[in-house]
């Protein structure tokens, strides 16, 4: 085994790896919370190999959140023990997931020592058929859980319950595996591991002793272009310039963008720059006959510009002038500059990762899809186009840079969003605060109860004095478990015989529980080229929710630098037919959100200071009425089109709080009212997520106008990451009501519990807002929807290029009072609630 590791360059483990291995040897469970590329895989590969060599019946289970990661790690393990090593043929590893063909599944089940899978497959395919896995489960020695930090929120609660079912089944077959958990840097790794795995004592390794080269972190705020209005340069253009400089210095770079559109735009612009770049002043295809000795539109334009006598700034291009393009340069550009995002097909993504490993791809623009730990070799630099939103994501992405002990560079270009400008004003926010907490609540009854049913289907529950697995569930007292089972028995889902509970019914319980809460199928993008070989080729996949936004008829769908126009969208079949088109504009869909209470229990306001509040079923609709056409590079608006597609509906449970009349009277100005409502909604959302131990993404907040009643109310709700339109703000300013709803269809009880907290919730919110050290309001307390300029009175430039109307005074005044208004609103809401 040592020879095998020496082959890949590991002679001795680092100190932190050694401590981990020793802890495992003593029989304890392990949590590794070191940074990326600190050798976490050694800490689980070595013990697993050792166990397999010592005992041929020993087995190990690797859990990964995605299939791609699982495949990658299995390949890594196989290459560790392939034919050229001393351990050839001794240890077998296989993936077992939805993509595995049936004969490979049988082989893996029967013979593989190591099986890599994901929680969904474990839930649906392994646990219900645990009888067939008897030999594997009986010999299970290690369970490796990778990317532990991704199991949080509602998804984490589901996975926690799946793991508890796994421990039951393991105990039935007679094994108690050791857990090795690998996590990114979060504030509470041990706590997360304990609540996920229902085990008490974890050994934590969070300091990496592996030497790293020096790391430089640069925060770049684009300069102000127009001092009068305070507009800053577009962050994408700035990123392009930065990447151009890095490319000229031949630095392998990974550019992380926040949105897919940014990835596509950046790829396209960089390739154009690359094609136009003339190598060492001379193009290889320099023909003696060509007029100015320059090939390619960019070089020709440079020549024209300098010959034409006009002063041109370095990065502004004249409008389209087509001409013959140097095909060789285009190919080189396409190979060295790639785009990457989750919607690409798996083969395509494998190919890009391989190109990165080989060093063929020099610059890759990507979404957060490349954030997870796939092996892409080393990079010299990472550029973040825009602040990723959380510190944890920033450190995760920045950790991709740096080959072994060589200096690494991370460069963050800030956009004009309020959160980014806040970071620009106070960069110590990035470095000073600890990373975020990961929260998970496995005992949420909405999630626990269906999993108990699945568990009863696998093995019955019994409360006689039998083995432990009959009557135990991690973290739950036996009496509480019995109550939960009684609840299920009352609903005729379980059958109670004496002290035992059996699952009855022919429906397969695991089919009714989806770990990720998504039910709809993705859209596939299909190329339409009748008469050619590529006709009917699948290009990419798009999530169901994003389908109407990116694949409406008439949309321009960019894919790795090429633009395709969507000709036809087959909604029922989930197919979009596209054709490649040379266009000068791209499209962006406009969406708005409506929240309607269907029915609920709540109190209408009776007194002038009472807060109307309640919970109930809500119908959330996201409609996409039309789209804008925006020209490339200048981003100016050149057209508009309608969209007729079904709305995205969500039936869920919502809690609402209305403004008491007294507060409405006090806050007369509509801007201040809407700002205060938005800020209060944001604060309630975040504090609720903290209190209920779920993720911020599991809840959603909205502000609508009007009081909800038994017949429901519909209004436009400004919500989301973008700044609300002026119209929506005005509407919200009428009689604002704050809604908080679960993002999961049907609700998981989060909103209900929030509303039930009553005054204690608002006490918590006020504590957070008062404790914030800002003067006028910062993203932490006010949120990102409220317009925020801490130091200047400048307007914010919308990324699409549309400049907001210049409301000079009332908005500015409203912003200045934002924090005070927020505190007043919260106090009024809290006072208006009945004391519980």
Partner 1 sequence: MRMLDRLAHTRALDRLAPRPSARVDPPPVVSLGGSSVAFERRELTIALAPERHATHPRASLLGGCLAPVALPSGPALARDLVCLGARAAGRAVFLDTETTGLSGAAMAFVIGLAWVQETELRCVQWTLSRCGGEAELLADTLAQLEALGPAPLVSFNGASFDLPLLRLRARRYGLSARALEAEHIDLLHPARRLQRGRSRDCKLGTLERDLLGLHRRGDIDSAEIPEVFWSWVQSPNDARARARLQAVRDHNIVDLASLPALAGWLAEVVREPADLDQALRVARHLDKLGAPDQARMLLARWVDAEPRGPSGARWQAAALELASHERRAGDRERAAQLWRAAWLADPGCPDASEAWAKHLEHYTGDFAQALRVARASRLPCDQRITRLEDRLQRTVARASAPKPRPGPGPELLTRGEESESGAGVRYRLLR
Residues near partner 1 (CB under 8 A): 128-129, 131-132, 134, 443-446, 449, 457-458, 460, 476-477, 479-480, 483-484, 487, 489-492, 495-498, 500, 502, 504-506, 508, 599-601, 616-617, 653, 746-747, 749, 752-753, 756
Between residues 134 and 249, which has the closer beta carbon with respect to partner 1? 134
168 DSSP β-pair partners: none
Q: How far is the CB of 136 from partner 1 (least distance, A)?
A: 14
| Residues 6+ positions from 2 with CB-CB distance below 8 Å | none
| Cα dist from 217 to 406, 413, 414, 421, 427, whole Å | 14, 11, 13, 17, 11
Q: Of the two residues 86 and 710, which places its CB atom closer to partner 1 in the complex? A: 710
Which of 128, 548 has the CB closer to partner 1? 128
CB 611 within 8 A of CB 833: yes
Burial 173-207 (b: 16+ CB within 10 A, else e): bebebbbbbbbbbbebbbbbbbbbbbbeebbbbee
What is the DSSP code string of 650-703? EEEEEEEEEPPHHHHHH---HHHHHHHHHHHHHHHHHHHHHHHT--GGGEEEEE
Work out how close the CB of 489 gets to partner 1 at its nearest, in angstroms, rounded to a whole number.
7
A 10 A CB-CB count for 830 gives: 19
Supply the minimum distance, in Å, between the C-beta of residue 127 and partner 1.
10
Q: What does the alpha-carbon distance between residue 198 and residue 200 come to, in Å, rounded to a whole number?
A: 7
- Residue closer to partner 1 by CB (options 476, 539) is 476
Q: How far is the CB of 653 from partner 1 (least distance, A)?
A: 7
Q: How far is the CB of 479 from partner 1 (least distance, A)?
A: 7
Q: How far is the CB of 646 from partner 1 (least distance, A)?
A: 20
d(CA 821, CA 802): 29
Cβ closest to partner 1, residue 15 vs residue 134: 134
Question: Shortest gap between Cβ of 764 and partner 1 (angstroms)?
Answer: 19
- The values of phi and psi at residue 621, to 5°, are -125, 130
- Give 449 or 794: the residue with its C-beta nearer to partner 1: 449
Kindly tell me which of 470 and 523 has the beta carbon lying closer to partner 1.
470
**Number of C-beta neighbours around residue 311 at 10 A:** 7
* Closest CB to partner 1 among residues 279, 483: 483
Enumerate residues 6+ apart whose C-beta is below 8 A from 481.
452, 461, 471, 472, 473
Question: Rounded distance, CA 557 to CA 579, Å?
Answer: 9
Q: CA–CA separation, 257 vs 263, rounded Å?
A: 6
Coil/strand/helix, residue 815: helix
Cβ nearer to partner 1, comparing 448 with 542: 448
Mutual orientation of helices 40-54 and 67-80 as an angle, nearest 10°? Answer: 60
Q: Reduced to 3 states, what is the DSSP secondary structure of residue 302? A: helix
* Helices and strands (DSSP H and E) totals, the chain: 27, 30
Q: Which is nearer to partner 1, 373 or 747 (CB)?
A: 747
Residue 651 vs 807, nearer CB to partner 1: 651
Least Å distance between CB 655 and partner 1? Answer: 12
Minimum CB distance to partner 1 smaller for 15 or for 110: 110
378 vs 460 by CB, closer to partner 1: 460
Q: Please identify, using beta-carbon distances, which residue of 2 and 132 lies nearer to partner 1.
A: 132
H or E element at residue 564: strand 562-570
CB nearer to partner 1: give 604 or 810: 604
DSSP, collapsed to helix, strand or coil, labels residue 523 as: strand
Strand order in 140-145's β-sheet? Answer: 93-95, 114-117, 59-63, 140-145, 178-182, 29-32, 202-205
Least distance to partner 1, CB of residue 601, Å: 6
Contacts of 739 (CB under 8 A, 6+ apart): 595, 618, 654, 655, 656, 681, 701, 702, 703, 704, 717
Give me the sign of the Cα torsion angle 492, 497, 503, 505. Answer: negative
Cα(618)–Cα(747) distance, rounded to whole angstroms?
10
Alpha-carbon distance 189 to 182, whole Å? 9
CB-based contact 440:153 (threshold 8 Å): yes
> CB 491 → partner 1: shortest distance, Å?
6
CB of 596 to partner 1, least distance (A): 15
Shortest gap between Cβ of 681 and partner 1 (angstroms)?
A: 22
Of the pair 139, 749, the CB lying nearest partner 1 is at 749
Closest approach, Cβ 483 to partner 1, in A, equals 6
CB of 504 to partner 1, least distance (A): 5
Shortest distance (Å) from residue 484 CB to partner 1: 6
Give me the least distance between CB of 493 and partner 1, in Å please.
Answer: 9
**Strands 637-642 and 613-631, bridge-based pairing:** antiparallel
**Closest CB 445 distance from partner 1, rounded Å:** 5
Alpha helices in 378-536 (DSSP H): 391-398, 418-425, 428-432, 445-458, 478-490
* 8-state DSSP, 556: E
Judge contact between 47 and 21, C-beta under 8 A: yes
Q: Name which of 443 and 804 has its Cβ closer to partner 1.
A: 443
Specify the residue, 711 or 805, whose C-beta has the smaller distance to partner 1: 711
> H-type helices in 515-577, by residue range?
547-550
Question: Left (φ > 0), alpha (ψ -120 to 50) or beta: where does 27 sit?
Answer: left
The distance of closest approach from Cβ of residue 610 to partner 1 in the complex, given in angstroms and rounded to an integer, is: 22
Continuous H helices in 91-133: 102-111, 119-121
């Amino acid at each position: 085994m040592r020879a095998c590791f020496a082959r890949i360059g590991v002679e001795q483990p680092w100190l932190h790896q050694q401590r981990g291995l020793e802890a495992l040897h003593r029989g304890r469970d392990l949590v590794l919370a070191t940074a990326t590329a600190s050798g976490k895989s050694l800490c689980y590969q070595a013990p697993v190999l050792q166990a397999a060599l010592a005992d041929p019946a020993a087995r190990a289970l690797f859990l990964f959140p995605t299939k791609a990661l699982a495949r990658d790690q299995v390949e890594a393990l196989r290459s560790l023990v392939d034919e050229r090593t001393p351990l050839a043929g001794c240890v077998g590893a296989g993936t077992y997931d939805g993509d595995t063909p049936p004969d490979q599944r049988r082989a893996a089940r029967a013979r593989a020592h190591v099986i890599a899978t994901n929680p969904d497959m474990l839930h649906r395919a392994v646990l219900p058929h645990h009888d067939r896995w008897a030999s594997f489960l009986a010999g299970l020695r290690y369970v490796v859980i990778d990317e532990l930090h991704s199991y949080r929120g509602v998804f984490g609660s589901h996975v926690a319950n799946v793991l508890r079912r796994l421990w039951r089944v393991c105990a039935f077959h007679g094994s108690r595996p050791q857990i090795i958990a690998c996590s990114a840097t979060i504030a509470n790794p041990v706590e997360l591991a304990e609540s996920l795995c229902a085990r008490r004592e974890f050994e934590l390794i969070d300091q990496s002793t592996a030497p790293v080269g020096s790391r430089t972190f640069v925060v770049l705020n684009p300069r102000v272009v127009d001092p009068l209005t305070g507009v800053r340069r577009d962050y994408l253009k700035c990123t392009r310039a930065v990447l151009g400089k890095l490319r000229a210095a031949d630095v392998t770079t990974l550019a992380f963008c926040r949105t897919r559109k940014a990835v596509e735009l950046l790829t396209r612009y960089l390739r154009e720059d690359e094609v136009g770049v003339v190598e060492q002043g001379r193009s290889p295809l320099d023909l003696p006959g060509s007029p100015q000795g320059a090939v390619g539109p960019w070089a020709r334009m440079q020549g024209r510009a300098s010959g034409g006598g006009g002063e041109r700034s370095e990065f502004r291009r004249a409008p389209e002038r087509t001409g013959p393009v140097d095909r060789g340069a285009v190919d080189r550009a396409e190979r060295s500059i790639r785009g990457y995002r989750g919607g690409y097909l798996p083969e395509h993504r494998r190919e890009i990762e391989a190109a990165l490993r080989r060093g063929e791809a020099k610059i890759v623009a990507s979404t957060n899809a490349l954030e997870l730990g796939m092996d892409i070799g080393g990079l010299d630099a990472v550029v973040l186009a825009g602040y990723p939103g959380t510190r944890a994501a920033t450190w995760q992405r920045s950790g991709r840079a740096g080959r072994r002990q060589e200096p690494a560079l991370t460069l963050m270009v800030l956009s004009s969003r309020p959160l980014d400008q806040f970071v620009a004003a106070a960069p110590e926010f990035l470095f000073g605060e600890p990373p975020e907490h990961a929260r998970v609540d496995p005992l949420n009854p909405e999630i626990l109860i269906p999993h108990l049913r699945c568990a009863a289907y696998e093995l019955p529950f019994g409360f006689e004095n039998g083995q432990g697995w009959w009557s135990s569930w991690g973290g739950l007292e036996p009496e509480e478990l019995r109550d939960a089972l009684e609840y299920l028995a009352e609903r005729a889902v379980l059958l109670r015989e004496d002290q035992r509970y059996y699952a009855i019914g022919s429906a397969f319980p695991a089919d009714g529980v989806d770990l990720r809460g998504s039910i709809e199928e993705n859209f596939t993008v299909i190329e339409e080229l009748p008469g050619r070989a590529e006709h009917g080729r699948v290009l990419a996949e798009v999530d169901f929710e994003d389908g109407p936004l990116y694949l409406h008829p008439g949309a321009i769908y960019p894919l790795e630098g090429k633009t395709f126009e969507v000709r036809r969208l087959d909604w029922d079949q989930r197919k979009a037919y596209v054709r490649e088109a040379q266009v000068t504009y791209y499209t962006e869909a406009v969406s708005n959100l409506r929240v309607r209470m269907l029915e609920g229990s709540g109190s209408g306001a009776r007194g002038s200071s009472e807060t109307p509040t309640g919970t109930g079923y809500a119908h959330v609709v996201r409609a996409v009425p039309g789209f804008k056409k925006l020209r490339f590079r200048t981003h100016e608006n050149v057209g508009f089109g309608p969209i007729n597609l079904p709305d995205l509906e969500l039936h869920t449970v919502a809690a609402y709080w209305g403004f008491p009349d007294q507060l409405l009277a006090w806050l007369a100005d509509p801007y201040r009212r809407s700002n205060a409502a938005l800020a209060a909604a944001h604060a309630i959302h975040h504090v609720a997520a903290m209190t209920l131990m779920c993720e911020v993404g599991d809840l959603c907040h909205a502000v609508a106008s009007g009081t909800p009643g038994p017949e429901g109310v519909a209004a436009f709700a400004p919500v989301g990451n973008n700044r609300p339109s002026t119209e929506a703000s005005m509407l919200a300013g009428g009689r604002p009501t704050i809604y908080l709803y679960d993002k999961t269809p049907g609700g998981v009880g989060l909103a209900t519990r929030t509303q039930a907290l009553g005054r204690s919730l608002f006490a918590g919110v006020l504590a957070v807002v008062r404790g914030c050290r800002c003067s006028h309001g910062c993203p932490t307390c006010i949120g990102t929807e409220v317009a925020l300029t801490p130091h200047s009175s400048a307007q914010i430039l919308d990324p699409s290029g549309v400049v907001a109307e210049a409301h000079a005074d009332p908005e500015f005044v409203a912003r200045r009072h934002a924090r005070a208004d927020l505190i007043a609103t919260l106090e009024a809401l809290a006072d208006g609630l009945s004391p519980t």
